[in-house]
Amino acid sequence: MNTTNEQAHGRNEIEDLLPWLAAGTLSRRDAQRVEEALARDPELARRYEMVREEFADTIHLNETLGAPSARAMEALFAKIDAEPARAPKASFNIGMRIAEFFAGLSPRTLAYAASAAVLAIVLQAGVIGGIVLNEHGGAGYETASAPSTAPGVGAFTLIRFAPQASVDDINRFLESNKFSIVAGPVPGGLYRVRVAETELPKADLNAIVKKLQENKLVGFIATAK
């Protein structure tokens, strides 16, 4: 096939699809192909206008055909009533049941269901994560490179991180200062953070808090017991 023939072939193939483009029933890929051809070929675009006229007038013609009388529905239900009673189906289509179930839910119910599903996934992830950590000898949640220490031992602060602080920022902050989160977040977005592995004199702990108040990642900090 020479180039001209190939072009002619491609043109016909594209032109054949114009009625479906007008009706909006082409696949996205085909529609894009036809639209690109229309953009570069004025003659094809002129023919597409013809197709659009046919499309509009076919709809108009069909819409003027009227509708059947109530007789059609009456006849149908008279025949249905005369049918033998239908026994309940022994088997059921599980796919259809699921489709029916979801179709019956309101958008609000679906949103609640989705939230519940997300929560269930998060909880499941937490449980699995906990099992994995325990299997690897971890005592629980640890952050950065903080050593594992008994929860009640050390010096503690309550910190609320700045809203713009990312998880990476917080991890780096904890790692560089050898801090670890031992609890939280509690209401108010506060975390209980161990700032020393041994108990510190009050003045020393206040000095740490004062220093950390200057850190842009820290939105709020206070000493904790």
Partner 1 sequence: MQTTTDDVLIARIASGDRLAMQVLFARHHVRVYRFVLRLVRNEATAEDLISEVFLDIWRQAGKFEGRSAVSTWMLSIARFKALSALRRRPEEELDEQTAERIEDQADDPETALAKKDKASVLRKCLSGLSAEHREIVDLVYYHEKSVEEVAEIVGIPQATVKTRMFYARKKLSELLKEQGVDRGWP
State which of residues 8, 39, 45, 99 lies at the interface with partner 1 (CB under 8 A): 99
Q: How far apart are alpha carbons 158 and 223 in whole angstroms? A: 6
The CA-to-CA distance between both ends of the chain, in Å, stands at 87
Q: Which of 76, 119 has the CB closer to partner 1?
A: 76
Task: Using alpha carbons, list the distances in angstroms from residue 117 to 38, 50, 98, 107.
Answer: 47, 52, 16, 15
Q: Is 53 in the site for partner 1 (CB under 8 A)?
A: yes
The first and second tokens of residue 69, run together, are 């009388």
* Lookup result for tokens 């801090």: 179
Of 93-101, 118-126, 180-188, 194-202, the segment contacting partner 1 by CB under 8 A is 93-101
Q: Using CB under 8 A as the criterion, what x/- string covers residues 9-38 for binding partner 1? A: -------xx-xx-xxxxx------------
Find the shortest distance in angstroms from Cβ 101 to partner 1: 9
**Taking a C-beta distance cutoff of 8 angstroms, is the pair 162, 217 a contact?**
yes
Please tell me whether residue 62 binds partner 1 under the rule CB under 8 A: yes
The CB-of-111 to partner 1 minimum distance in angstroms stands at 13
Burial class (CB in 10 A: 0-12, 13-18, 19+), 218: buried
Residue linked to tokens 């909006």: 24
DSSP code of residue 154 = S
The number of residues that bind partner 1 (CB under 8 A) is 50
Which parts of this chain interact with partner 1 (CB under 8 A)?
16-17, 19-20, 22-26, 47, 50-51, 53-62, 65-69, 71-73, 75-77, 79-80, 83, 85-86, 88-89, 93, 95-97, 99-100, 103-104, 106-107
